[in-house]
Structure 1
Amino acid sequence: MKPYRVLLYYCYTPIADPEAFREEHHLLCLGLNLLGRIIVAPEGLNGTVSGLTADCEAYMAAVKADPRFEALEFKVEEHEQHAFQKLHVRVKPEIVHSDLPVNPLEQTGVHLDPESFRKLKNDPDVVLVDMRSNYEHSVGKFKGAITFDMENLRELPEHVDEIAHLKDKKVITYCTGGIKCEKASAYLISQGFQNVYQLHGGIIKYGLEAGGEDFDGKCYVFDNRVAVEVNQVNPTVVSTCYRCGKASDRMVNCASPACNNHVAMCEECGWEHQGTCTDACLSDPQLRAYDGTGYYSKKSEGYTPWQGYKSFAGSQATTH
């Protein structure tokens, strides 16, 4: 068993004072030595954190003890070390930026647990629709799923016409952890789709609980693992090296900070081209040192996990 855990979670629930909750939650994470990214908004909570097993267990217990988060479900993965270098707990208008005029607490697609999804996905009347960004589904997606060439969920209204002819089908949306589908499925319903479902818990939960069958490639994640295995039943590689074109599911961020493109790159090309996606990027004077992972944490002068924490006694940000 690996010593660390990576927790992925979200919960749509009203938070009356997001700023006060953010301070309290930041302190909780500091006390448990957790690292990661957490978003607090009036509509709920969204986060991915990593820590030692006992610390993660204590964190999950503390969150679930709050009546507002009773329905929250954690996706728990084992890892050899922290999956993050920093801790950020931020207040934002939405827990996933979409600008879609919907409220998942009022209406959303029918939730399918992983096993129900596994049984239904091959129904001839079912269409799978990927709600992730183009660079995410480039390295992995469900077999036969429809994908959109979009950078983020805000662009969904620009692409919904591409599936308008499927309004009478059973449409199942999916994403990494389920959060995007809460709003995406609600939006499809608002646009006249009759039978809308969503994979509850997303790709990660499906892999953990149902073996990941028919998920081709790897799942892109937003931590220093970059992409993770999902399919334990019939795995395959669907992406190709951006440099040489051979099959590869190693995802990297281009070592040029001006580019930072998310691409698949084989290990050989990674080292040969110092983690860059083009020769032009290789000449970037600000080129970041490639260490074989293709993941680069943003640098912050004088960063500590306390950064951004506000004391309850005042309103000025302090660092320790």
Structure 2
Amino acid sequence: MKAYRILLYYLYTPIEDCLAYREEHHRFCLENNLLGRVIVAPEGLNGTVSGLAEDCQRYMDWLHADPRFAAIQFKIEEHEQHAFHKLHVRVKEEIVNSDLPVDPLKETGVHLEPNEFRRLMNDPDVVLVDMRSNYEHNVGKFKGAITFDMENLRELPDHVAEIEHLKGSGKKIITYCTGGIKCEKASAYLLHQGFENVYQLHGGIIRYGLEEGGENFDGECYVFDGRVTAPVNHVNPEIISTCHVCGTTTSRMVNCANPECNEHLPICEQCGWDMDGACSDTCRTHPRKRPYNGQGYYPKKFEDYTPVMGFKSAQGSFKV
């Protein structure tokens, strides 16, 4: 068993004094040596953190002891070390950027537990719809799923027409994403647009992999920590992405070493070294190219960063 844990979670629940709670939450993370990203918003809480197993357990117990967060469902993965380099707890308008005119606390798609999803996913009357960004589903997705060429969830309204034919078809539409949070709003938006029989994979790809072995998820799951991608399918795994440079099969994702490009791309290990972490000769010779360390993961640098800095800059993009 590995010493560290990575926790992924969210919960839509009203939070009244976001700034005060952000400070309380940040302080607890500091005192328990947790790193990661947490978003506090009037509509709820969204986080992914890493730490030693005992520190993560203390964190989960602390959140569950708060009546507002008692229903949080944690996705727990083992890891050899911290998956993050810094700690950021921020207050924002939404716990996932969408700008969609929906409220998951009032209406959302029917939750499917991983075992139910596994039973239904191959039904001919079921259509799987991926609600993640293009760079995410390019490296991994469920077999036969519909994907959209979108950068983020705010672009969903521009792509709904692509599944308009499903209205009135009698098909069951099952949305999915990494941890489930995007689907709460995406499925609600589909209902808002007149779609029927809308479901969502509760807990997302990560929970399905942990509880059901990840069957029929091709490739790897893009994750927002130092791993970049994580294996999900332990039943019938298949790599679907190819190296951006040489075209060989690879599930290895990197960010281009040129910060002005910073594209998320599959690049095999050999090409990673040959291109010095860049996606093209132009990026490889760019004067601002970052040093390549073999990982292709470049956490943002903050010249004045300290773990307690957040106490002085709590508001983030939240308007008070």
TM-score by length of 2: 0.96
Gaps of 5+ in 1: 316-320
1:304 shift after superposition: 1.4
Corresponding residue SS for 1:88 = strand
1:263 shift after superposition: 0.3
Q: Within 5 A, what are the aligned runs for 1:139-158?
A: 139-158=139-158
Q: Deviations over 1:8-51 (max 9, x none)?
A: 00000000010010000000100100000000000000010000
Once residues 294 and 161 of structure 1 are traced to their aligned partners in structure 2, the CA distance between those partners, rounded to angstroms, is 36
Gaps of 5+ in 2: 316-320
Identity, in percent, stands at: 71
Corresponding residue SS for 1:76 = strand
Residues 1:25 and 2:17 aligned together:
no
Aligned-partner residue type, residue 12 of structure 1: Y
The equivalent of 1:223 in structure 2 is 225
Corresponding residue SS for 1:308 = helix
CA contact (8 A) 1:23 1:310 kept: no
Once residues 26 and 284 of structure 1 are traced to their aligned partners in structure 2, the CA distance between those partners, rounded to angstroms, is 38
Once residues 199 and 58 of structure 2 are traced to their aligned partners in structure 1, the CA distance between those partners, rounded to angstroms, is 33
Once residues 32 and 73 of structure 1 are traced to their aligned partners in structure 2, the CA distance between those partners, rounded to angstroms, is 20
The equivalent of 2:242 in structure 1 is 240
1:302 shift after superposition: 3.1
Residues 1:13 and 2:16 aligned together:
no
The change in CA–CA distance for 1:207 and 1:311 in structure 2 (over 3 A counts) is closer
The equivalent of 2:67 in structure 1 is 67
Once residues 108 and 303 of structure 1 are traced to their aligned partners in structure 2, the CA distance between those partners, rounded to angstroms, is 39
Once residues 178 and 2 of structure 2 are traced to their aligned partners in structure 1, the CA distance between those partners, rounded to angstroms, is 22
Higher RCO, 1 vs 2 (CA within 8 Å, ≥6 residues apart): 2
Once residues 162 and 63 of structure 1 are traced to their aligned partners in structure 2, the CA distance between those partners, rounded to angstroms, is 40
Residues 1:287 and 2:289 aligned together:
yes
Match of 2:298 among 280, 296, 317: 296
The equivalent of 2:81 in structure 1 is 81
The change in CA–CA distance for 1:14 and 1:238 in structure 2 (over 3 A counts) is same
Corresponding residue SS for 2:311 = coil
1:109 shift after superposition: 0.3
Match of 1:260 among 239, 258, 262: 262
Q: Deviations over 1:67-107 (max 9, x none)?
A: 00111100000000000000000000000000000000000
Once residues 263 and 41 of structure 1 are traced to their aligned partners in structure 2, the CA distance between those partners, rounded to angstroms, is 31
1:57 shift after superposition: 0.2
Aligned-partner residue type, residue 116 of structure 2: S
Q: Within 5 A, what are the aligned runs for 1:93-242?
A: 93-167=93-167, 168=169, 169-242=171-244
Match of 2:253 among 230, 251, 271: 251
The equivalent of 1:318 in structure 2 is none
Once residues 224 and 179 of structure 2 are traced to their aligned partners in structure 1, the CA distance between those partners, rounded to angstroms, is 11
Once residues 312 and 301 of structure 2 are traced to their aligned partners in structure 1, the CA distance between those partners, rounded to angstroms, is 21
Once residues 17 and 97 of structure 1 are traced to their aligned partners in structure 2, the CA distance between those partners, rounded to angstroms, is 20
CA contact (8 A) 1:139 1:217 kept: yes
Aligned-partner residue type, residue 183 of structure 1: K
The equivalent of 1:269 in structure 2 is 271
Once residues 190 and 124 of structure 1 are traced to their aligned partners in structure 2, the CA distance between those partners, rounded to angstroms, is 25
Task: Please tell me the root mean square deviation across aligned C-alpha atoms, in Å.
Answer: 1.2
Once residues 200 and 187 of structure 2 are traced to their aligned partners in structure 1, the CA distance between those partners, rounded to angstroms, is 7
Aligned-partner residue type, residue 224 of structure 1: G
Once residues 294 and 35 of structure 1 are traced to their aligned partners in structure 2, the CA distance between those partners, rounded to angstroms, is 20
1:283 shift after superposition: 1.3
Aligned-partner residue type, residue 144 of structure 1: G
